[in-house]
Amino acid sequence: MNIENHPCFNEKARHQFGRIHLPVAPKCNIQCNYCNRKFDCVNESRPGVSSIVLNPLQAVEYLDKVMTKISNISVVGIAGPGDPFANADETISTLRLVRGKYPDMLLCLASNGLEVSKYTEELAKVNISHVTITLNAIDPEIGSKIAAWVRYDRKVYRDLEAAKILLEKQIEAIKSLKAEGITVKINTVIIPGINEAHAVEVARKAKELGADIINFIPLYHVEGTEFEGILPPNHDMLAEIKKQAAGLLPQMNHCSRCRADAAGLIGEAMSAEAFKLLKEASLPKISKERPYVAVASMEGLFVNQHMGEAKAFWIFKMNNGAIELVNRRQAPPSGGGTDRWIALSESLLDCLAVLVSGIGDIPKTILENHGIKVITMEGMIAEASKAVLSGKEIPKIFLKTPGRCNAGSCSGTGGGC
């Protein structure tokens, strides 16, 4: 690997070498007050946005095809649309697959740092070269104004307690990464009225911890967030912060605040061809081994059951352009933990996808690790099954997309359903 070819860390390289972000990490373990991780808005270029989420196998298939079209890709990164380590299994699996196929490729990650220190040995094993940590404050009082909640070890923390835990884990992450010889970049989002007077102290602490470079990022105005009423910092404010921090760490000055599915040169829009390949990679593909689709349904007409509630699954196939019922298979009895979902996956190995109205993280991961695409939706079985079995997209009106927990009509705590 030639680390000089990383376009984010070497300004000279950004005009010659491209990067590709593999969007395999939809979940996040913190809620920042400037972030709204909505999906499928191709006109927005900012962190937290991805039109599509892939599983690890789909991600490598997509990478293979992009590499035939864009010859100057030097870096494969994972930057969301959530946090890589809120999706640790998917992240590590993807990195291993990429490293196995592309031994000379630079690998990098962007994370909030909360869970990173648990995985630094794994990251070293796949020879990851660069990790970005978003560190917005080193004073928990300031940090408590930026993150609405933090979920750590299956418990949700708020306010000052959340900020203290996040800062402790971020410091631990930077130290553990540097102990493994991994290059660390710090991202600091400049939020006027919140942390602009504190940013230089963040840089000073980052230097003390051994970070290699810092990137001061102006707040991106995002509707529907707690900070939607705060204007981004003006040029003079940002320039003064960079000037004061100039003697502390090298600075990245060419950041374009990339999407979680970005591909190509920094600053250039994702090509229509790359976006087409991304969509194609996400679609289930019918084969002799997997000619069917399974559906969680109460009556066999609509997708209207949660995975955990389904006592049986309706199995459909395509026959001369029409959807035809094959059989109805009993699901393993409730209880049994992960063994139940493994048994279910094994009973559906001839299905390329399963359609459900809802599903938990554990069964979803197990099913997808068995090569079964999980599609969360509500609507007519015939229309959705026909789309899947034809290799087409399900109409978006049927799809249920992730939203922000504990917002609007949601009564959740932020801990996940």
| 231-245 per-position pLDDT tens digit | 988 999 999 999 999
Could you give the residue ranges of the DSSP H alpha helices within 210-291?
Answer: 235-244, 272-282
Full DSSP string of 274-288? HHHHHHHHHS----S
- Mean pLDDT in residue range 32-45: 64
* Entry pTM: 0.76
Distance CA 23, CA 53 (A): 5
| 374-396 per-position pLDDT tens digit | 999 888 999 999 989 988 877 77
The 3-state DSSP class for residue 308 equals: helix
pLDDT at 138: 93
- The CATH number for 285-398, chosen from 3.30.420.130, 3.20.20.70, 3.40.50.300, 1.20.1530.20, is 3.30.420.130
pLDDT at 256: 63
pLDDT at 151: 93
Region(s) of the chain under CATH 3.20.20.70 = 3-281
Distance CA 8, CA 106 (A): 12
Instruction: Kindly tell me the burial class for residue 261, based on how many C-beta atoms sit within 10 Å of its own C-beta (0-12, 13-18, 19 or more).
Output: buried
| Annotation: CATH topology of 3-281 | TIM Barrel (3.20.20)
Region(s) of the chain under CATH 3.30.420.130 = 285-398
Whether the pLDDT of residue 2 is over 70: the answer is no
pLDDT at 261: 76
Which range (54-58, 69-73, 243-247, 302-306) has the least confidence? 69-73
- Mean pLDDT in residue range 255-274: 70
Specify the pairing of strand 106-111 against strand 130-134. Answer: parallel
**Alpha-carbon distance values, 326 to 155, 292, 303, 315, 383 (Å):** 43, 8, 16, 5, 16
pLDDT at 402: 45
pLDDT at 46: 60
**Alpha-carbon distance values, 150 to 90, 166, 261 (Å):** 21, 7, 24
- Mean pLDDT in residue range 295-322: 93
CB distance 22 to 90 below 8 Å: no
Which range (14-23, 214-223, 234-243, 303-312) has the least confidence? 14-23
Which range (165-174, 258-267, 362-371, 406-415) has the least confidence? 406-415
User: In DSSP terms, which residues pair with 190 in a beta bridge?
Assistant: 218
| 69-124 per-position pLDDT tens digit | 877 877 898 988 889 999 999 999 999 999 999 998 889 999 999 999 999 999 99
Distance CA 304, CA 271 (A): 37
